[in-house]
Amino acid sequence: MTTQAAPAIVPNFGDDATTGRKLAIICSKGTLDMAYPGLILANAALGEGVETHLFFTFWGFDMITKSRMGDLKFTMLGNTATHMPQGIGGLPGMTAMATHQMKKQIAEVGVPEVPEFLEQIVASGGHLWACRMSADMMHLSKDDLYEGVEDIINAADFIEKTDGAQLLFI
Amino acid sequence: MPVTTIAGRDVHVDDEGFLTVYDEWDPDLARQLAAQIGLDLTDEHFKALTFLRADYVTQGETATLRRVSALGGIPTKELFSLFPKKPAKKMAYIAGLPKPHGCV
């Protein structure tokens, strides 16, 4: 590089940054549409070299419960953003149809289903934590949860693990 | 569009340094680009770069990490160890392609 007249233009990948950025995402929803924001942001953060922790709590527990994680649903009920009359959403079969449609749209843009997405997040170095209170309420143990979940921890543990992190509640 | 000199060659790059002309790239240049960001390329690195370049030709955009693992057959974990911290962007840079635009 010393032979060059002008210095080469090299992208800054932030490798020299001394302070590690950290992101904590609390996933509290169990619907298909609300599962994705946390997963997408976690995946993006990991791809940028950010240490990322996800905490699954209350309805968000469905995202990591083996028997349910592949079967999250989307309903039109209570969601005015579908711009359909609310009564239609309550008809039999509508939730299944809306779920099917949304899954199709997600697959079309090359985004994986929830279990595979979690697998990718873990492979990228992401940390998954389950909420102790939710596990106790639902009588679930670690065996019921996705194997990528590192542990069932309480809220204080999570706060401690994510010291200095930016935090998102979804 | 800036022109920068890498390995004694003038190449066109964008403001950040990513190559903008597909055909100005070759494996030798890749080694130089990698060296600039502290990486020493192995056959495993080239497997990813080759996929990325071939995929760009058919798709018109740079593959995301997920695409490289799902279609290129290189596990995500391995991509993170080959191109530490920011694998998608580092791969694109060394492959002489723009940064990927896809979210996942």
Taking only the tens of pLDDT, chain A with its 170 residues reads 444 455 678 888 877 775 689 999 999 999 999 999 999 999 999 999 999 999 999 999 999 999 999 999 999 999 999 898 988 998 999 999 999 999 999 999 889 999 999 999 999 999 999 999 999 999 999 999 999 999 999 999 999 999 999 999 99
Give me the DSSP letters along B14-65. Answer: -TTS-B--GGG--HHHHHHHHHHTT----HHHHHHHHHHHHHHHHHSSPPPH
- Picking from A13, A110, A125, the nearest residue to B37 by CB comes out as A13
Report chain B residues whose CB lies below 8 A from the CB of A44.
103-104
The residue of chain A with its CA nearest to that of B99 is A11
- Bridge partners for A65 per DSSP: A145
Mutate to test the interface with A, among B37, B65, B66, B101 (most CBs of A within 10 A): B66
Burial degree of B77 (CB within 10 A; 0-12, 13-18, 19+): middle
> H or E segment at B68?
helix B65-70
> Cβ of B76 and A8 within 8 Å?
no
Indicate which CATH number applies to the domain containing A91.
Answer: 3.40.1260.10
Confidence at B2, pLDDT banded by 50, 70, 90: confident
Determine the Cα angle at B78 with ends B23 and B30, to 5°: 25
Q: Which tokens is A90 given?
A: 């309550």
pLDDT of B24 over the 50 cut: yes
What is the model's pLDDT at position A65?
97
Q: Please report whether residue A35 resides in a domain.
A: yes
pLDDT in tens, A9-18: 888 887 777 5
The residue type at B64: T
Inter-chain contacts counted by CB atoms under 8 A, chains A and B: 81
Determine the Cα angle at A96 with ends A149 and A55, to 5°: 20
* Residue spans of alpha helices (H) in chain A: 32-47, 86-89, 94-108, 114-123, 132-137, 155-161
* Residues B62 and B96 sit within 8 Å (Cβ to Cβ): no
Higher pLDDT, B19 or A5: B19
Contacts of B69 (CB under 8 A, 6+ apart): A120, A123, B75, B76, B79
> Cβ of B67 and A49 within 8 Å?
no
How close A91 gets to chain B, by Cα (Å)?
34
Domain count across chain A? 1
Q: Using a pLDDT cut of 70, give the percent of chain A over it.
A: 94
Where do we find the tokens 């593959």? Answer: B63
Averaged pLDDT, B55-80? 94
B103 is catalytic: yes
The residue of chain B with its CA nearest to that of A3 is B8
Q: Please report whether residue A3 resides in a domain.
A: no
pLDDT in tens, B25-64: 999 999 999 999 999 999 999 999 999 999 999 999 999 9
B53 touches A: beta carbon within 8 Å: no
What is the model's pLDDT at position A4?
46
What is the model's pLDDT at position A1?
46
* Residues A88 and B82 sit within 8 Å (Cβ to Cβ): no
Q: Please report whether residue A1 resides in a domain.
A: no
Distance between CA atoms of residues A130 and A160, nearest Å: 15
Distance between CA atoms of residues A71 and A66, nearest Å: 10
How close B77 gets to chain A, by Cα (Å)?
5
- A56 three-state secondary structure: strand
Report chain A residues whose CB lies below 8 A from the CB of B70.
112
Q: Please report whether residue A2 resides in a domain.
A: no
Q: Please report whether residue A9 resides in a domain.
A: no
Q: How far is CA B18 from CA A41, B21, B95, B98, in A?
A: 24, 9, 9, 6
Q: Please report whether residue A15 resides in a domain.
A: no
Q: Which tokens is B94 given?
A: 């060394």
> Cβ of B37 and A112 within 8 Å?
no
